[in-house]
Amino acid sequence: MSVFDKSYRRYKGELKGRWFKIWSIATTTFRVQFSGKKIIFLLILCNIPMIAFTLMLVFTAIFFPQGLTEMLFGMFGTLDVAMYTVINFTFNAGLIFLPIVFISALNSGTIANDKKHNSLALYMAKPIDRIDYVLGKTISVYMISSFVTLIPWLMFLILFTLLAGSTQIQFLDTLWVYLSTSGSALVVILFLGSIVLLFSSFSNQSVLAGILTIMILFLPDILITTISGILDISWINYLSISTLLTAAIFLIFGKPDFEGLLGSFYEANINGWISIVILLAIAIICVLFTINNLYKEEID
């Protein structure tokens, strides 16, 4: 009997469940992507709009406490209008570039780096299939994307609610805004994260995947804004990512009634239901194409 046969013992223990494997892939990828000081700098840079709004509330509460209530509700109106305004301020046609850069930069190497370093063979050598691998990577992308969407939005909402507590806002109204904020973040995360994941599966170069994702997500808004200013074509707005997101969030927040300084600046000019269907359909298609790309990938 060979030495190998004497020393090798086949594992006979109980294997973890499928969802444990998927979650392990997700958390491992999340830790790898968030390692390094450059990531913290990029996170702060891409959250500048949210940081500015939050600091505005903090400084006003410290230095002008008597005018805080007037500032909060004179500028924003009700709580749902405040959150809707903050969210759409982040994702308007001009500033949408910042969260796109963060999501693309951190997630473009999710699959591309594994292909580049031949790590796919290591994954597939374990008792997982390619769907498990893609699902784990998809969850990690969504988790990372939440750092320029859900997490800063909820931090602002909590601060706003605490500072405005003297105005006797009803708990159910506050809870409804939390749910609307989470729903808006979910739509944004599913849409942007799925597109980045798809481009990451096309190439083994994360930089190339990131650049292509930024171009595909950002450039159409510039072109559509230019075209809509020249031609009166209403349906072309359905090709604008920022307009789709604005319409979807406008619907989720129940068409908030704007009063005061904002006017109709953040009101949607396309159908919200159609926008949500388009965004979610694109997200699902991107995930399916990603799975298809991984099944066509040859593993040495």
Please spell the DSSP secondary structure of 140-169, one letter per residue. Answer: HHHHHHGGGTHHHHHHHHHHHHHHTGGG--
Positions in the chain short of pLDDT 50? 1, 3-4, 166-168, 261
- Of 260, 284, 280, the residue nearest 272 (C-alpha): 280
pLDDT value of residue 72: 64
| Residue 71 forms part of a structural domain | yes
pLDDT value of residue 7: 57
Distance between CA atoms of residues 248 and 88, nearest Å: 10
pLDDT value of residue 184: 92
Tokens coding 153: 């939005």
| Residue 7 forms part of a structural domain | no
pLDDT value of residue 186: 94
| Residue 4 forms part of a structural domain | no
pLDDT value of residue 1: 46
| Residue 204 forms part of a structural domain | yes
pLDDT value of residue 71: 64
| Residue 2 forms part of a structural domain | no
pLDDT value of residue 215: 84
pLDDT value of residue 162: 77
pLDDT value of residue 239: 82
> Whole domain around residue 140: which residue ranges?
15-296
CB 50 within 8 A of CB 156: yes
In degrees rounded to 5, what are phi and psi of residue 78?
A: -85, 170
- Of 234, 248, 270, the residue nearest 192 (C-alpha): 248
pLDDT value of residue 129: 82
| Residue 135 forms part of a structural domain | yes
Q: What's the total number of domains in the chain?
A: 1
Nearest-5° Cα angle at 267, 262 to 268: 165
pTM, rounded to two decimals: 0.83
